[in-house]
Structure 1
Amino acid sequence: MTATPHAREILQLAAEAADSKGGVDLVALDVSGPLPLTDAFLLVSGSVERNVIAIAGEVEDRLNDAGVRTLRREGKSEGRWILLDFGDLVVHVFHEEDRMYYALERLWKDCPVLPLELPVHSAD
């Protein structure tokens, strides 16, 4: 199985939202094979707790504005690892330290990486 076109569409929207709030090291994984309940994961890092919360908030706002309902939200008050479940897409927004510790990329290393198209940021 592969991620559906809808999952890829909302994945791109979520990635753009995360990028707009300073999210870094964005990685998208097609988890449709091993996980029957979702198609894709988006992993994003933020530098500090406030940044993690801002990234997650922007992702949720953008997807909700596009008509995609948030099914579940975990970890928002701590700002260390926020999970947003949109059904076809699950977004994990990590503090950089927690992302290294939990290493989801290693856990899901057999899943294909999905391409993301993000704007190139100039070095002011």
Structure 2
Amino acid sequence: MSATQQAIELARAAAVAAAGKKGSNIEALDVSEKMALTDIFLVISAGNERQVGAVVDAVDEAVRGLGGKAVRREGEQQNQWVLLDYTDIIVHVQQLEVRQTYSLERLWKDCPLIDLQLPAAPEGQDAE
């Protein structure tokens, strides 16, 4: 079994919203084969606490716009690693240093990536 279409749509909307707030290195991992609690881990980097907050707000607004509701939110007081659990997807917004330290992609490396179909970054900006 792989991620549901609904989960993929939520992840894509969240990724677009995050990219709009300069979230970077956005990856979606299909964890549905390994984990019963969710279909997708969406991992997003942000440069600092303020940017983490902006990305979290944008993601939450986009997912709520599609009918999603966070059943759990963690880490917003420090804004170093914020977790948003929408049941179908779990969004991790991490400051760069935290992401490098915990390396969720390495821990879940046997899970397939989902094509988020993000628009290309404007010329002169790195897509990651």
With normalisation by structure 1, the TM-score equals 0.96
Matches within 5 A, 1:41-120: 41-120=41-120
In 1, the alpha carbon distance for the partners of 2:83 and 2:122 equals 30
SS at match of 2:106: helix
SS at match of 2:70: coil
In 2, the alpha carbon distance for the partners of 1:40 and 1:66 equals 16
State the partner residue of 1:123. Answer: 123
The CA deviation at 1:49 is 0.8
Using the TM superposition, name which of 75-84 and 58-67 deviates more. Answer: 58-67
Deviations 1:89-115 (A, max 9, x none): 000000000000011111101101111
Percent identity at matched positions? 44
In 2, the alpha carbon distance for the partners of 1:8 and 1:120 equals 19
Give the length in aligned residue pairs: 124
5+ residue gaps, structure 2: none
Which amino acid is 2:5 matched to? Answer: P
Which amino acid is 1:120 matched to? Answer: A
With normalisation by structure 2, the TM-score equals 0.93
Which amino acid is 2:90 matched to? Answer: V
In 1, the alpha carbon distance for the partners of 2:123 and 2:90 equals 31
